[in-house]
Amino acid sequence: MQWQRVWVGLVCAWATGFAMAAQPAPMVLQQVGPHTFYVQGLAALGSTDNQNFISNAGFVVAATGVVVIDALGSPALAKRLIAEIKAITDKPITHVIVTHYHADHIYGLQAFKEVGAAIVGQERAREYMYSDTARLRLQASRTDLAPWIDGTTRIVAPDQWLTSSTTMELAGTTFQVDVVGPAHTPEDLAVWVPSERVLFSGDLIFNGRLPFVGKANSSHWIEALEHLLQYPAAAVVPGHGGASANPSSDIALVRDYLVYLRTTMGEAAANFEPFESAYEAVDWSAFASVPMFKFANRMNAYNTYLLMEQEGLKGIQ
C-alpha cells in the first residue's frame, strides 16, 4: 500500500508537471496607440512548450476593419491572436501585412486566410517561399514543433505583392509601407501608421536582445535603421522584444552591433585570418550581457565574416 501511494504520488506529480509544461505561453495585448495593439513573443527559441511564440505581431483597429502586421509562428498562435482581436472589436480582419517571410512571422498566415484576410507582402519573398530552404524548414518544424506545426501547416503567398514603397488605404486608415530590404531579409517591409504615430519595424529591430543576422545585407540594414529614425514615432513595435518609446536608443544598439560585426569580421577577412582565431580575438564584452548573445553571436559573426569576404572579392573584381 505504501508503494502504491508513492507510485500514485509520482504519477500525479508527473501529470501536474506535464500539464504545467504544456500550458501555452501567455499572450497579453499591449496598447501602443489610440487604436493599435501588439503581442510580444518570448526571448527564447521556438519550442513545443511555447507554440513557437518568439516573435511579435500587432494590429490596428481601423474605421471599417482590422489590419494585422505579421502572423506569428504557428496557426495555433494566430488563432489565439484572432480571439484576442475579437474580444475588443467585432470589426472584420481585412488585411495582414507581412514584414518578412521568416517562419516565426508567417506560419500563422493560414488562420488569417480562413477568416477572410488579404495578405500583403514584398515580391522578393518569392525567392524564399519556393526555395528548398523554406521547404526543409517547414518539414523539420513539423517534427520539432509538433503538434503546433503539422502536415496541414503551409506557407501562404501574399494576395498583393509590393515592389516599391507605397501608401495604402486599408480599412479606412492610411498605412505607409516601406520597402527597406534587402536588410535582415531581401523582402523586409516597415509599416508606419501616421494617425497612430506607431512604426512596425519587423526584424530590423530586436529590442532588448541580439538580432539574428543570418545571411543579411548588414550594410543596407544599417542604412535602413537610419531611415526608420526619420519617423516621428511615439512607439516602435519591433519584430522581437518590447515596444520602444525611445527609438533612437534602441535602434542604436542594433546599429552599433552590426557596425561592430562588420568592422571586426571585415578586418579578419581582409587579412585572410581564419574565422575561429579571429572570433576568439575579438572583445565582445560590450554585447555579452545582451539576451541571446550565447546563442546568436557566433553565428552572426560567422555569417558576417562570409559576407565581408564576398564584399572584398567584389571590390577587387
Q: Is residue 14 predicted with pLDDT exceeding 60?
A: no
Query: What is the model's pLDDT at position 174?
Result: 98
pLDDT surpassing 70 at residue 196: yes
pLDDT in tens, 272-309: 999 999 999 999 999 999 988 999 999 999 999 999 99
* Domains defined along the chain, listed by start: 2-246 (3.60.15.10)
Between 293-315 and 247-270, two packed helices, what is the crossing angle to 10 degrees?
60
Q: Which pLDDT value is given to residue 23? A: 64
Written in H, E and C, the secondary structure of 114-167 is HCCCEEEEECCHHHHHCCHHHHHHHHHHHHHCCCCCCCCCCCCCCCEEECCCEE
Cα–Cα distance between 87 and 79 in angstroms, integer?
12
Model confidence at 8: pLDDT above 50: no
What tens digit of pLDDT does each residue of 213-241 get?
A: 988 999 999 999 999 999 999 999 999 99
CA–CA gap between residue 235 and residue 292 (Å, rounded): 24
Q: For residue 75, is the peptide bond before it cis, meaning its omega torsion is within 30 degrees of 0? A: no
Where residue 99 falls among pLDDT bands split at 50, 70, 90? very high
Task: Identify each DSSP E strand in the chain by its residue range.
Answer: 30-33, 36-39, 57-61, 66-69, 93-97, 118-122, 160-162, 166-170, 173-179, 189-193, 198-206, 235-240
Q: What is the pLDDT of residues 113-123, one digit of tens each?
A: 999 999 999 99
**Local confidence band at 137 (pLDDT 50, 70, 90 cut-offs):** very high
**pLDDT for residue 208:** 86
Helix 293-315 / helix 218-228 crossing angle, nearest 10 deg:
110
Q: 3-class DSSP state for residue 46?
A: coil
pLDDT at 5 over 70: no
pTM here is 0.89
What does the pLDDT look like over 33-83, one tens digit per residue? 999 999 999 977 788 889 999 999 999 999 999 999 999 999 999 999 999
Q: Which grid coordinates are listed for 280? A: 576568439
